[in-house]
């Protein structure tokens, strides 16, 4: 039997890849405008990094990691998300020593052992940003704005932004006790995961897809915020309002881990079956320290690119098709063929996308090939023309023909073809 791709992975073929390049280019351009610089960290890291940086009690670390022993008997994990690696690199390379806030972005594959379905894969791609070194609410708002603008600029409709404040660890101590008291009467009815969460991380029960009904009427973290938290949360909202970014407050949007502080947010858009979250992020003032760095604040987001493409397709949003080629060269006869090979190379070196036939096909088949490539020009070179040092170009859009000299094409193809 032939070998097939592993479950939960995808081949991105020409025709699809252009959509990916489009999203990636948009992400890069947006980051240029918001002054985020690209960082590239390893695809695999020491398992310990994710245990600490993502959190022992998360689904990711409990069930979803691709972990293996390498030949040197180290425990290695394929990165399940981007933040932990970026934080490690920030600490290891002492970026905190730089005078400005570190504003970083990444685009790349992540790996999680999940049950594959539409919008959920084992290898998927995230665009993410992280900003380290500032506790200012304006940067929380900037991060939220960047994600929102990304969705908007690629043409995604009906994206909603939900925000919440998860307070600080000390604020959450009282909240956790109250939550446990709230869930105590139904503890036995909760799903198995949530029965664990009840003791270890009760805030995550609010996040559970199975036990949502039991969370109704649960106490709100917003009633527990202290002055510092309220001020921060209020300022984030003010900045979003000033930027005209629509948002709603969802007090049940939680991250139960100690290093999350203040702002938590999610982007939602209907259209991938039961899944509606297309991106998420928040502030994590305790994370750098958790990973062995100093007391440096951070805030970031991660957006799933597969989910974006699914929603774009569902909404019928046009994404770019493959670029057409500029010139398809056809030679009639042996001497012309030699000249065409030379000319092809000359054109390509001048920045022109050029192609020829490599299958010894008849002229008609070559014309069809030019059509498939959506060629702007077909250039036909016969013996007579070769003798005159000329070539005939057919502009495919209009059918117009023009004859130019080979010397002109070789000297300045762009001018000859497109002016
Ligand atoms: P979910 O609740 O859907 O499992 P999550 O909380 O695990 O999401 P995050 O870790 O916050 O997701 O990741 C940020 C984004 O990455 C998600 O909003 C989603 O767009 C994308 N994402 C996460 N897991 C997958 C996956 N297995 N396949 C495709 N995209 C994913
Ligand atoms: Mg998940």
What percentage of the chain carries pLDDT values higher than 90?
80
Any idea which residue has 């050029």 for tokens? 354
| CATH of residue 395 | 3.40.50.800
Does residue 265 fall inside a structural domain?
yes
Confidence of residue 373 (pLDDT cuts 50, 70, 90): very high
What value does the mean pLDDT take over residues 253-272? 86
**d(C-alpha 328, C-alpha 373), whole Å:** 9
The response to whether residue 123 sits with its C-beta less than 6 Å from ligand 1 reads no
80 HSE (CA, 13 A, CB side): 25
The pLDDT value given to residue 78: 98
The reply to whether 109 and 242 lie within a common domain is yes
The reply to whether 268 and 403 lie within a common domain is no
Residue 270, classed as helix, strand or coil, is: strand
Token reading at 87: 């934080």
The reply to whether 140 and 288 lie within a common domain is yes
Q: Please identify, by atom number, the ligand 1 atom nearest to the C-alpha of residue 128.
A: 14
The reply to whether 46 and 143 lie within a common domain is yes
Residue nearest to atom 11 of ligand 1 (CA): 280
The response to whether residue 300 sits with its C-beta less than 6 Å from ligand 1 reads no
The response to whether residue 373 sits with its C-beta less than 6 Å from ligand 1 reads no
List Cβ neighbours of 373 (8 Å cut-off, separation of 6 or more).
324, 325, 328, 355
Host domain of residue 340: 327-418
Taking only the tens place, the pLDDT of each residue in 61-82 is 999 999 999 999 999 999 999 9
**d(C-alpha 69, C-alpha 25), whole Å:** 36
The reply to whether 36 and 120 lie within a common domain is yes
Ligand 2 centroid to Cα of residue 60, in Å, is 7
The reply to whether 308 and 334 lie within a common domain is no
Number of folded domains that form the chain: 2
Does residue 59 fall inside a structural domain?
yes
Give burial (CB, 10 Å; 0-12/13-18/19+) of 334.
exposed
Give burial (CB, 10 Å; 0-12/13-18/19+) of 318.
exposed
Does residue 140 fall inside a structural domain?
yes
Taking only the tens place, the pLDDT of each residue in 135-192 is 999 999 999 999 999 999 999 999 999 999 999 999 999 999 999 999 999 888 889 8
The response to whether residue 302 sits with its C-beta less than 6 Å from ligand 1 reads yes
The response to whether residue 80 sits with its C-beta less than 6 Å from ligand 1 reads no
Does pLDDT of 37 surpass 70? yes
If one counts every other C-beta atom within 10 angstroms of the C-beta of residue 188, the result is 7
Does pLDDT of 256 surpass 70? no
Residue nearest to atom 20 of ligand 1 (CA): 304
Token reading at 149: 């603008």
Residue from 302, 305, 310 whose mutation best tests the ligand 1 pocket (most atoms within 8 A of CB): 302
């Amino acid at each position: 039997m032939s070998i097939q791709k592993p479950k939960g992975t995808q081949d991105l073929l020409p025709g699809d890849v252009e959509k990916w390049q489009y999203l990636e280019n948009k992400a890069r351009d947006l980051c240029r405008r918001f002054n985020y610089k690209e960082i590239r960290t390893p695809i695999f890291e020491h398992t310990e990094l994710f245990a600490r940086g993502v959190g022992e009690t998360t689904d990711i670390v409990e069930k979803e990691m691709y972990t293996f022993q390498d030949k040197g008997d180290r425990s290695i994990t394929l990165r399940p998300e981007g933040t932990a690696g970026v934080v490690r690199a920030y600490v290891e390379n002492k970026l905190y020593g730089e005078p400005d806030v570190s504003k970083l972005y990444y685009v790349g594959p992540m790996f999680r052992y999940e049950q594959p379905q539409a919008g959920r894969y084992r290898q998927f791609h995230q665009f993410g940003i992280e900003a380290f070194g500032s506790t200012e609410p304006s940067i929380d708002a900037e991060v939220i704005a960047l994600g929102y603008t990304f969705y908007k600029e690629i043409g995604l409709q009906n994206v909603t932004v939900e925000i919440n404040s998860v307070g600080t660890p000390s604020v959450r101590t009282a909240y956790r006790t109250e939550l446990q008291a709230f869930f105590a009467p139904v503890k036995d009815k909760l799903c198995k995961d949530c029965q664990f969460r009840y003791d270890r991380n009760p805030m995550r029960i609010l996040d559970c897809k199975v036990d949502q009904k039991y969370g109704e009427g649960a106490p709100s973290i917003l009633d527990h915020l202290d002055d510092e938290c309220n001020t921060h949360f209020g300022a984030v909202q003010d900045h979003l309002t000033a930027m005209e970014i629509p948002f709603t407050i969802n007090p049940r949007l939680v991250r139960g881990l100690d290093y999350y502080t203040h702002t938590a947010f999610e982007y939602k858009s209907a259209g991938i079956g039961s899944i509606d979250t297309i991106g998420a992020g928040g502030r994590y003032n305790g994370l750098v320290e958790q990973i062995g760095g100093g007391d440096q604040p951070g805030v970031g987001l991660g957006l799933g690119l597969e989910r974006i493409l699914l929603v774009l397709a569902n909404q019928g949003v046009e994404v770019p098709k493959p670029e057409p080629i500029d010139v398809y060269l056809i030679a009639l006869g042996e001497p012309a063929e030699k000249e065409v090979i030379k000319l092809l190379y000359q054109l390509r070196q001048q920045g022109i996308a050029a192609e020829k036939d490599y299958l010894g096909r008849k002229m008609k088949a070559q014309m069809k090939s030019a059509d498939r490539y959506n060629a702007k020009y077909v250039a036909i070179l016969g013996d007579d023309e070769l003798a005159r040092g000329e070539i005939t170009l057919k502009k495919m859009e209009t059918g117009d023909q023009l004859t130019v000299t080979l010397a002109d094409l070789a000297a300045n193809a762009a001018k000859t073809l497109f002016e």
